[in-house]
């Protein structure tokens, strides 16, 4: 292996780790009261947040507004992501993650478990990885007295 090949492999490993860190920051921001101002710092200016049951927000202003609504609705969240499958192609990347999270909602203080599949597109901007498009597909949602059945 020559120096150029080794440098390419190191760059790929650094990119993968930076994307893992980006997802961890996303989870931390969500669990820190869904901070609307912080969340936009990890999305491209034209980035998109899209989630079943919550709609689609495109661009910083819309994402900030959406997370403001989350902040009013959710009193507690604990995001746990795992099993990343990541592909990097230069300055763009794609990933899927599995998510299991506990939530409490302000309206009824009712606890809820949610399982989600994230499908993400990333873009490198100014040397930093950002979300281009984050999609969340709810695969399971259950609260007290409900069975653990996948949504229909």
pLDDT at 148: 53
Does this model's pTM top 0.75? My answer is yes
pLDDT at 14: 97
pLDDT at 110: 84
- Per-residue pLDDT reduced to its tens digit, 68-97: 999 999 999 999 999 999 999 999 999 999
Domains of the chain: 3-142 (3.10.450.50)
pLDDT at 57: 98
Strand order in the sheet with 128-142: 55-58, 43-51, 128-142, 111-125, 92-105, 74-89
pLDDT at 39: 98
Angle at 141 between CA 61 and CA 150, to 5 degrees: 120
Residue 129 vs residues 22, 39, 82, 116: alpha-carbon distances, Å: 7, 14, 19, 22
pLDDT at 123: 98
Q: What parts of the chain have a pLDDT lower than 50? A: 152
């Amino acid at each position: 292996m020559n120096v150029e090949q080794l440098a390419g492999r190191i760059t790929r490993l650094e990119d993968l780790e930076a994307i893992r860190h980006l997802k961890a920051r996303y989870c931390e921001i969500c669990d820190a009261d869904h901070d609307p101002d912080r969340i936009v710092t990890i999305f491209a200016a034209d980035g998109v947040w899209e989630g079943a049951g919550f709609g689609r927000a495109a661009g910083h202003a819309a994402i900030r507004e959406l997370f403001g609504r989350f902040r009013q609705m959710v009193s507690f969240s604990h995001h746990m992501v795992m099993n990343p499958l990541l592909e990097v192609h230069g300055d763009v990347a794609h990933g899927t993650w599995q998510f299991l999270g506990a939530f409490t909602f302000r309206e009824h203080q009712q606890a809820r478990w949610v399982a989600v599949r994230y499908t993400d597109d990333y873009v490198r901007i100014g040397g930093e990885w950002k979300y281009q498009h984050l999609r969340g597909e709810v695969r399971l949602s259950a609260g007290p007295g409900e069975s653990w059945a996948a949504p229909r």
